[in-house]
Amino acid sequence: MMRLHGYFRSSAAWRVRIALNLKGLAVEHVFHHLRHGGQRAPDYLRLNPQGLVPVLETEEGVVLTQSLAICEWLEEGWPEPPLLPESRDERAKVRAFAQAIACEIHAVQNLKVLARLRALGLGDEAVTAWARETIQEGLAACEALIADGEGPFCFGAQPGLADICLVPQLGNARRFGCDLEAFPRLMAADAACAALPAFAEAAPGRQPDAE
């Protein structure tokens, strides 16, 4: 059986949990407590020298890192239901939306960056404001990217890679107190996702390591 290394609150691991659920794939979960430094344990660093979750170990023992690479690997191995549209143009748009979240929002407000800001002397209030403003600004761009779409999901009638990235990022947005009322399309996609067991069961609060 495949093995997913994660942490209940990790939005990157959350993405992979959703993708696995959408594909109907069962995995063994291994949880690493990020606030206690589990990701820096020598055994874990041998798996992922970046010291980040998620890691997916395949049945053949191949070690995969980076949530978007893992989602695309799942897509190639189990094409149904598809996480990416058929049209090449649309696929590029979905990937761009996913990367707008993974590279431009999440990467700027993740645990490691916030810890660095604290180490540089910023207090809790300033660090929270950094995260909140980063997310708010990034989500405004995401809202504009899909504003003309029909929905209910980010790119049409079926959930896909964009939704897989959006839902965990909205989880972070709520944690940092963002004002989400300005984002009706994102909220509609979030609501459509929340109604699906694949998304609901991947939520942090449903994981065995949830606190």
Ligand X SMILES: N[C@@H](CCC(=O)N[C@@H](CS)C(=O)NCC(=O)O)C(=O)O
Residue nearest ligand X, Cβ-based: 112
CB of 147 to ligand X, least distance (A): 25
All residues at 6 or more sequence positions from 143 whose CB lies less than 8 Å from its CB, including other chains: 182, 183, 184, 185, 186
**Number of helices (H) and strands (E), helices first, in the chain?**
10, 4
Q: Which of 10, 109, 169, 207 binds ligand X (CB under 6 A)?
A: 10
Give me the sheet containing 2-6, strands edge to edge.
27-31, 2-6, 55-57, 63-65
CB of 65 to ligand X, least distance (A): 7
Q: Which of 4, 27, 102, 166 binds ligand X (CB under 6 A)?
A: 102
List phi, psi (to 5°) of 203. -65, 150
Please say which residue, 36 or 88, places its beta carbon nearer to ligand X.
36
Name the residue with tokens 């916030």. Answer: 114
CB atoms inside a 10 Å sphere around CB 28: 10
User: Is residue 35 a contact residue for ligand X (CB under 6 A)?
Assistant: no
Q: Are 11 and 106 in contact (CB under 8 A)?
A: yes
Q: Which of 108, 111, 187, 196 binds ligand X (CB under 6 A)?
A: 111
Q: Are 199 and 122 in contact (CB under 8 A)?
A: no
Q: Mask: binding to ligand X, 152-191, rule CB under 6 A, as x and -?
A: ----------------------------------------
Q: Segment contacting ligand X (CB under 6 A): 52-60, 82-90, 140-148, 185-193? A: 52-60
CB of 111 to ligand X, least distance (A): 4
Binding site for ligand X (CB under 6 A): 10-12, 34, 39, 51-54, 66-68, 102, 110-112
